[in-house]
């Protein structure tokens, strides 16, 4: 807008000067159109020059340089052994040392067994001492009557008194239970006791075996088995 106003001022000045010269001494006639054209060219030249200066003064903003993304560097790739655990360069599947099975990993701690074990003396326990009669492997005839006896020790901390029974586990001898009823038969901790049974050999020939086991007054079975093992022929 400023330049347009300037152009009009120049044109107006040129017209005024022309009017003033009409009453003065006659001068050589000038071409008014030429004067106006020259004035316009001058204004246009000044306008172009100012545009050039303004454009030069405004420095273009250079965009910030982009920083390229860092190139990811892959580490050394792991080397895997061929199938079968071999470290050789063979390419045949399955060639090499077989993998170990059921081998716990390094540092592996197995879980403790859920079965609780007792440590130290217990109330009810027993241990076999010896066969007093008819040791294992004795040969007897079919239907033969005999007396089998064992010596057993009370290795627990409780007395075997009324309610304790040597219980027959079943088999070919038609055995029976032996309860402790008489106070003379009660067994103190650390003492031994002889159990005797009158049995009859089976009629069938061959090896015959039956067993017995102690049971406490609370119904708990404990200790070692007492067995008869003979050859019937």
Q: What is the pLDDT of residues 108-119, one digit of tens each?
A: 344 444 444 556
| Mean pLDDT estimate for the chain | 73
* 79: pLDDT strictly greater than 80: no
pLDDT attached to residue 41: 73
Show the CA angle centred on residue 50, arms to residues 47 and 54, nearest 5°.
140
% residues pLDDT > 90 (the chain): 48
Closest CA to 195 of 111, 102, 130: 130
From residue 191, alpha-carbon distances to 125, 161, 194, 216 in Å are 12, 13, 10, 16
Q: For 205-220, what is each residue's pLDDT tens digit?
A: 999 999 999 999 999 9
Is pLDDT above 60 for 73?
no
**10 pLDDT above the threshold of 80:** no
Structural domains in the chain?
126-232 (2.60.40.10)
Number of H helices and number of E strands within the chain?
A: 2, 8
Greatest CA separation for the chain: 183
- Shortest CA distance to 192 belongs to which of 122, 138, 132? 132
Query: Tens digits of per-residue pLDDT, 120-153?
Result: 789 999 999 999 999 999 999 999 999 999 999 9
3-state secondary structure of 95: coil
pLDDT for residue 51 is more than 90: no
Residue with the bigger pLDDT between 161 and 7: it is: 161
Average pLDDT over residues 66-78: 51
Conformation bin of residue 107: beta by default, left when phi > 0, alpha when psi is -120 to 50: left
Q: Which of 43-47, 121-125, 162-166 has the lowest mean pLDDT?
A: 43-47
């Amino acid at each position: 807008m400023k330049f347009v106003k300037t152009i009009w001022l120049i044109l107006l000045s040129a017209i005024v000067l022309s009017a003033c010269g009409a009453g003065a001494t006659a001068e050589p006639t000038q071409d008014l159109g030429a004067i106006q054209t020259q004035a316009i060219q001058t204004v246009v030249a000044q306008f172009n020059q100012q545009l050039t200066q303004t454009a030069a003064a405004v420095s273009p903003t250079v965009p910030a340089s982009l920083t390229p993304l860092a190139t990811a560097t892959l580490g050394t790739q792991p080397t895997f052994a061929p199938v079968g655990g071999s470290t050789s360069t063979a390419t045949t599947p399955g060639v090499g040392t077989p993998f170990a099975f059921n081998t716990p990993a390094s540092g592996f701690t197995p879980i403790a067994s859920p079965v609780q074990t007792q440590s130290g003396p217990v109330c009810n326990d027993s241990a076999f001492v010896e066969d007093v009669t008819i040791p294992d492997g004795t040969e007897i005839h079919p239907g033969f009557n005999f007396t089998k006896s064992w010596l057993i020790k009370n290795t627990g901390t409780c007395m075997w008194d009324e309610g304790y029974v040597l219980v027959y586990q079943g088999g070919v001898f038609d055995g029976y239970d032996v309860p402790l009823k008489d106070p003379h038969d009660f067994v103190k901790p650390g003492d031994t006791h002889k159990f005797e049974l009158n049995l009859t050999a089976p009629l069938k020939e061959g090896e015959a075996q039956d067993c017995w086991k102690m049971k406490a007054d609370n119904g708990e079975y404990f200790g070692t088995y007492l067995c008869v093992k003979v050859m019937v022929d």
